[in-house]
Chain A
Amino acid sequence: MQATDEAPPSSQFHSDADRSANDGPRRAAVYRALSNYKTARDRTGATFTDWKSARAAASTIKHEAVNNLDKYLEQFERNFTARGGKVFWANDSRQARDYILNLAKEKNVKAIVKSKAMTGEEIHLNEALVAEGFGVVESDLGEFIQQLKGEAPYHFVFPCMHLRRDEISDLFNRELGTAKTNSPEELTMIARKVLRRTYIEADMGISGGNFIVADAGMISITENEGNARLTVGVPRIHVALVGIEKVVPRLGDLALLLPMLATAGTGQHLTGYNSMYGGPRQPGENDGPEEFHVVLLDNHRTRLLADPEQRDALHCIRCGACLNVCPIFKNIGGHTYGTTYQGPIGSVITPHFRGLQDWKHLSGASSLCGACTETCPVGIDIHHHLLRNRRNAVTQKPTPLENLMWKAFSFLMRRPRLYSFATKVAPLAAKLHPLVQGTLADPVRVWTDTRDFPEPAAESFRTQFKRHQSTRASQTESTNTTR
C-alpha cells in the first residue's frame, strides 16, 4: 500500500508524479469528476446565508475543542462509559491494532465488516487482521471496490473516483464473476448483494467516526449508503477507531458542522444518513451491538498539538475539499502522495505524523496557490503551513547544494551594484544560450524541456528608467529656460 518499503517516499513521489502528470486520460477523468463536485458545492454553498461567518463559527468550535482536547475527550469517556461503552486510548498504531486484534481473538470473532475509516488505513488495520486470519470486508462501495482491486483509496472521501464505470464492471466480473454492465445501479446491486450477506455473518463491525461529541458521549457517523448503520448495528461487537482531534464539545455543534461537512465534502446539504451512536444495546432495547468499543487514536496527533503554529491543522474534519480544488492533486492524483491523507492537508500533517525529513517533499510539491486554504470549511491555514514545513525542514537539516545556492543568491541580492551589473550581463549571457540549449549543460533545461523561456530584454528597466529620468529632467529644464 505505502511505497515506503520499496523506495524512499520522495523518489516514489517524483516518479509517480511525473508519470501521472503525463497521464492525460486519467487527469481528464479526475477533472471531470471534480468539476461536477464544484458545481454541486457552489450551489449548496450558496444556500448558506453567510458561508464566511459559518466558516468562522466552525473554526471557533474546532479551536475550542482542539485547545481543550484533554477536557473534552475525558468528558466523552465519562459519558460514553456510563452507558456501558468501553474506551481505549491508543498512543500509536501498534497499540490500536493490538487492542482490536486481541478483542477479536478474545471474543472469538470469525468475520469482520468495516465501514469507511481512514484511521484504519492509517494504522494498516486490515492487513493486520488478515494476517491473523480474520476476514474483513469493506462495506463502503468505494472502499469495497478498492479492496477488491487491492489498492489504497485514491482520495480519502472518494476512494475510487479515478476509476471509470467499465473498469469497475471488469473488476467485478473478474473478482466476483458477475456479468459486465455499464449501469451504476446494477453495479451497486452487485456490491449490495455481497454486502448484505456479510453484515449478517459478521460478528464484529469496525467503523471510523466523523465527530466525537463530548457532552453527549456519542460518536457521529455521516454517510450516504447506509452501510455504516448496518456495519455498526448488526454484528454483536462494534469498534469505532477515531482520531482524537475529531472531538467537539457539544451536540449542538453538529447543527453547523454536519451541513458544513456535507457541503464541503460532497456538495450535499446533508449526507443521506447522519447517525449518533452512544453505547451498546441498553436493557430493554431490541437491537444494537452487545459491546461497543471506541479506540481513541493519537498516533502523533499530539505532535501537531504541540506546535502552536500549525495546531489548527487538527481542526480538519476530513471533508476532502482541499483535495478537490487542488491543482496539484488534480494533476498527479491521490496515489502519488503515498500517504493515508492525500492532497494539501495530507502534505501538511504527514510530516508531523511520519517524519519531516522523509515527507518534506510533499510540502515542496505545491505552487502555494492557496485554493486549499480558501475552500477549507474550518479555516485551516493550509498553504502557509506548507511554507512552515519547508522552513522547519531547512532549519532542522539544510540540503547542502540548496544551502549554498541560497547563500549565493542572498550574497548577490544584498549587493545592489553587483545585482545591477548582473542585469547588464544577462542579455549577453542569453546570447550564448543557444550554444548549450537542450544539452545537459543548459542551466534552464528543466524549464525549456516543456516551455519556452523569455529572452532578457536588451536593456533592463533600471537602465531605461535612468534615461527616462534624465530626459524628463532636461525637458523640465528647457521648459523652465524657455519661460
Chain B
Amino acid sequence: MRITLFVPCFIDSLYPNVAMSMVKIFEQLGHSVEFPENQTCCGQPPFNSGYWEEARSVASKQLEAFKNADCIVSGSGSCGAMFKVFYPELFHGHALEAEAKALSAKTWEFSEFLVNKLNVSDVGARFEGRATFHDGCHGLRELGTKEAPRTLLRAVKGLELVEMGEAESCCGFGGTFAVKYPQISTAMAEVKCTSICETKADYVISNDSSCLMQISGWLNRNVGSVKCMHLAEVLAAR
C-alpha cells in the first residue's frame, strides 16, 4: 500500500524520530511511504485561536499537498483530528468543501490505521519496561481512538502495560492554551503526571507528541525519572 505521511510541524522539528519510526514500521510491513514536501502545518493553532480565515489559507495548502494521497497517516491524534474532523467544518460553505471532505475521509490516526486498516496488531516490537498510556483528548474524543494503541502495546514483547487513574484526563496542553493560561495548564499537567507517577511506570506512552511535550516538560522539571515515548517509537523498537 502507498502510505502518505502527514508529519505535523512540531514532530518535524522537535520529534523527527517519531515520524522516522513510523516510516520504519510501515516499510517493514512491506508498504511504501511517501512524504509530500510541500506540507507544513495543519492550521490548528490559528483555528483554535479563532482566526479561521488564516487557518483556512494554511489548510488549503495542505489540501493541495495531499491531493494525490490514497491514505494519509498522522502521528498526532490532534493534527489528525484537524484534518478529519475540523477541516469539513472550517471549509463548510467554501469553495474547497468537497476537497476538505475528501481529505477527511482518507485521513487516519497512526494506531487506528495499523489496527483497523492494515489489520495488524503485532508489529514484532520488543521493548523492556513498565509503561502507562496517555489518551490524547483529540485522538480519544474527536477520533474515538481508545483500544487501538492498547492492542498494539499489549503485543509488544517485554512491555508491561499498566493503566493510570487519569488516563483520559487532559494533560493541559491544548495548543495556545498552554501559553495563554500557563498556570491552569501547568496545574493540569501536575494532576496528569501525579497519576502517571502513581503507576510506578518507567515510561509514559502516547499517540500524540503534543501531549508528550507538555507531560515531559512537567516530568523533567519536577520528577525526572519517567520517560516519554511516542507509540511509534515503542513499536519500532526491536
Contacts and interface: CB of A to CB of B under 8 A. Distances in A.
B177 A452 contact: no
A456 B14 contact: yes
A369 B54 contact: no
A327 B221 contact: no
B177 A366 contact: yes
Nearest to B12: A461
A403 B174 CA distance: 20
A87 interface: no
B187 A447 contact: no
B170 interface: yes
Given A31-B191, A365-B181, A465-B35, A414 B7 contact: no
B54 A327 contact: no
Range class of the B interface residue count: 35 or more
B124 interface: no
A423 to B, nearest CB: 5
Contacts of B50: 387, 390-395
B217 A327 contact: no
B234 to A, nearest CB: 18
B225 interface: no
B109 to A, nearest CB: 15
A413 interface: yes
Given A327-B172, A406-B54, A454 B180 contact: no
Contacts of B191: 31, 327, 330-331
Nearest to A458: B16
A463 to B, nearest CB: 8
A22 B185 CA distance: 11
Interface in A436-462: 446-447, 449-457, 459-462
Interface stretch (A41-49, A172-180, A266-274, A370-378): A370-378
Contact of A462 (B12, B54, B142): B12
A460 B173 CA distance: 22
Interface string B155-182: 0000000000000111011110111111
A371 B170 contact: yes
Contact of B173 (A22, A328, A367, A413): A367
Given A18-B183, A27-B187, A447-B182, A461 B16 contact: yes
Contact of B172 (A367, A370, A387, A403): A367
A402 interface: yes
B199 interface: no
Nearest to A396: B50
A269 B185 CA distance: 35
A303 interface: no
A403 B141 contact: no
B49 A447 contact: no
A370 B141 contact: yes
A147 to B, nearest CB: 29
B131 interface: no
Contacts of A393: 50
B49 A451 contact: no
A249 B213 CA distance: 49
Contact of B214 (A451, A456, A459): A451
B200 to A, nearest CB: 20
B184 A22 contact: no
A367 B177 contact: yes
A258 interface: no
B123 interface: no
B229 interface: no
Q: Which 9 A-B pairs have the closest CB atoms?
A: A367-B174, A451-B217, A390-B50, A369-B170, A394-B50, A461-B16, A370-B141, A369-B137, A410-B54
29 contacts: A18-B183, A21-B184, A22-B183, A22-B187, A331-B191, A364-B180, A365-B184, A367-B177, A387-B48, A392-B50, A394-B51, A402-B49, A403-B51, A406-B45, A409-B54, A410-B46, A413-B40, A413-B43, A416-B65, A419-B41, A420-B37, A449-B182, A451-B214, A451-B217, A452-B220, A454-B15, A457-B15, A461-B12, A464-B16
Given A369-B174, A392-B50, 17 more contacts: A17-B181, A21-B183, A328-B184, A330-B191, A368-B137, A370-B137, A374-B141, A395-B50, A409-B45, A409-B58, A416-B38, A416-B40, A450-B186, A461-B20, A462-B12, A464-B20, A465-B20
Interface of A: 17-18, 21-22, 27, 31, 327-328, 330-332, 364-371, 373-374, 384, 387, 390-395, 398, 402-403, 406-407, 409-410, 412-416, 419-420, 423, 426, 446-447, 449-457, 459-462, 464-465, 468
Interface of B: 7, 9, 11-17, 19-20, 23, 35, 37-41, 43, 45-52, 54-55, 57-58, 61, 65, 89, 137-138, 140-142, 168-170, 172-175, 177-189, 191, 213-214, 216-218, 220-221
